[in-house]
Amino acid sequence: MKPFTLPQLPYAYDALEPFIDKNTMTIHHQRHHQAYVDNLNAALEQTNETNPDLDSLLQRVSEYSPAVRNNGGGHYNHSLFWEILSPQPKLNPEGKLHDAIISTFASLEDFKAEMKKAGLGQFGSGWVWLSVKFNGSLMISSTPNQDNPMMDVLSVNRGFPILGIDVWEHAYYLAYQNKRADYLDSFWSVLDWAAVEKKYDEALLKIR
């Protein structure tokens, strides 16, 4: 089996300051994400998988052990998270994604408010998502731990994630302590909408 590897960040650990600090980024990437990769590889050694595709694994994760679910989700979720952040982000969506957000949530500010509400409402560790549902529409949802909307263990709110906010305490506690709301507000200053637009286009292709 070809093992999964930790993706390199496309920016320095201090590049997202002051919104996400260097110490948090370093620990988050080198320790937390690396652990998910290592544990996923170890869990897959106990299966018959020879060349696993991560998206496919998660879409049928009910067939695997909790270790594959937790660590596969952790690897996927964090990989997406790093990709949509940037020290020089495009701060507003355009084109098809902009139109879909306005159509679904009335305004960009209303969308951000709903994401914040979902983030504050997620009890304990988890993620908040903007996803493309299998019918092509947008939805906001939250998941516990390292679950995500692609997983077939979910009975509702299934789809392809295009934007995810990590609300585990390890993502923000060093700088924000218990002020999750402040972290959620700061997130938009480093979200690269160009990356989210690309993921939106990719998701639409998957459901055709």
Write out the residue range of the structural domain in which residue 78 sits: 20-208
How far is 110 from 121, CA to CA, in rounded Å?
A: 16
pLDDT one-digit tens code per residue, 114-168: 999 999 999 999 999 999 999 999 999 999 999 999 999 999 999 999 999 999 9
CATH code of 117's domain:
3.55.40.20
Using the predicted structure, report yes or no on whether residue 1 has a pLDDT greater than 90.
no
Per the CB < 8 A criterion, the answer to whether 160 and 203 are in contact is yes
Residue pLDDT, tens place only, 87-119: 999 999 999 999 999 999 999 999 999 999 999
166 is in an annotated binding site: yes
- Looking only at the bridges linking them, the beta strands covering 126-133 and 138-144 are antiparallel
pLDDT, tens digit, 9 for 90 and up, residues 33-90: 999 999 999 999 999 888 789 999 999 999 999 999 999 999 999 999 999 999 999 9
**pTM flag (> 0.85):** yes
Cis preceding-peptide flag for 144 (omega within 30 of 0): no
192 assigned binding-site residue: no
75 is annotated as contributing to ligand binding:
no
Domain assignment of residue 123, yes or no? yes
Is residue 6 assigned to a domain?
Answer: no
151 neighbors 59 (Cβ within 8 angstroms): yes
Q: How many domains does the chain have?
A: 1
